[in-house]
Amino acid sequence: MRVLVYVLFVSGLLLDCATTQESKATMQDLKEAAQKLEEDIVCAMWDCDCAFRTQGCCCGNTELQFLRDQVIETFQSVSGKINQLTEEILEVIGPVNVAFTAFLGEDVKCIGPFERNVSIPYNVIPLNEGHGYNSVLGLFTAPVSGVYSFSLSVYCRMQRAGQHMYYKVQLMRNGSPEVAMWEDNAQDMEDSSSHRVLLSLQRGDQVYAELVQNRTLCGNIEGLNSFSGYLVYPVAA
């Protein structure tokens, strides 16, 4: 009997993504069989949206998070070497014009929730003068010391009436928050906010927008979730 329940359970996982009308009755039977299972289920890296999350199959997220952290660390190492090379070039050719604008494309429907704060990787970059913005890491590195102006706009739209809107996005400088925008209610179907700030940066300082842990940013419309900045004037390092 125990083997049979396991078979039913695994079959349910494989069929969980099926959407045909013919599979609905079978899926319900499989779910009920899995819910009656009292013993622990061996994790097979199932997605966290699986139908049997109450039975303990949702454990793939930790592995994915670990893999993501490794990728980010690799890109940070490469980015650091590129920044060092950029500084050496600037010492030879002098300062350059610095300005960038980036936003989330329409293909990005939802971001989050994550187990920790995560930088937002704005993937459409119409302008990147001075090559200070890194779209992979979602951060801007000041190529020269100076006063910079940054703008951050956040838009969120719910997928259905009554859904809980719960986001918080903050503008970070070297790991510390400068400004933040947040929403926490179930009344609005959509909302937006924006902020502009002037920051005095040293060459190599990093500025980025991050989504706070356990929050979700959904319903993106191209151009409304944006991050931009430019050098107002340089100063001596």
The answer to whether residue 27 sits within a structural domain is: yes
Across 133-166, b (16+ Cβ under 10 Å) vs e yields: bbeebbbbbbbbbbebebebbbbbbbeeeeeebb
The answer to whether residue 65 sits within a structural domain is: no
The answer to whether residue 131 sits within a structural domain is: yes
Which residue type is seen at 1?
A: M
Q: How many domains does the chain have?
A: 2
| Rounded Cα gap, residues 165 and 184, in angstroms | 6
Q: What's the CATH number where 164 sits?
A: 2.60.120.40
* Predicted confidence (pLDDT) per residue in 31-47, tens digit: 666 666 665 555 544 44
The answer to whether residue 86 sits within a structural domain is: no
**pLDDT score of 162:** 65
**pLDDT score of 40:** 55
More confident of the two residues 190 and 174: 174
**pLDDT score of 218:** 81
Same domain for 100 and 35? no
**pLDDT score of 58:** 52
Same domain for 123 and 199? yes
The answer to whether residue 207 sits within a structural domain is: yes
Q: Above 50 in pLDDT, residue 6?
A: no
Same domain for 137 and 48? no
The answer to whether the Cα torsion of 222, 192, 111, 175 is positive or negative is positive
Q: Above 60 in pLDDT, residue 12?
A: no
Q: Above 80 in pLDDT, residue 85?
A: no
Highest-confidence range of 32-41, 165-174, 180-189, 198-207, by mean pLDDT? 198-207
Q: What Å distances lie between residue 230 and 101, 103, 176, CA to CA?
A: 9, 15, 20
Same domain for 110 and 208? yes
Q: Above 90 in pLDDT, residue 93?
A: no
The answer to whether residue 190 sits within a structural domain is: yes
The answer to whether residue 85 sits within a structural domain is: no
Look at 4-8, 57-61, 118-122 and tell me which has the smallest mean pLDDT: 4-8
Last residue of a domain, one of 58, 78, 105: 58
Which residue pairs, CB below 8 angstroms and at least 24 apart, start in 107-113? 108/220, 108/225, 109/218, 109/219, 109/220, 110/216, 110/217, 110/218, 110/219, 110/220, 111/211, 111/216, 111/217, 111/218, 112/167, 112/211, 112/214, 112/215, 112/216, 112/217, 113/213, 113/214, 113/215, 113/216
| Rounded Cα gap, residues 226 and 215, in angstroms | 18
Same domain for 14 and 131? no
Provide the domain limits for residue 36.
2-58
Same domain for 44 and 120? no
**pLDDT score of 14:** 44
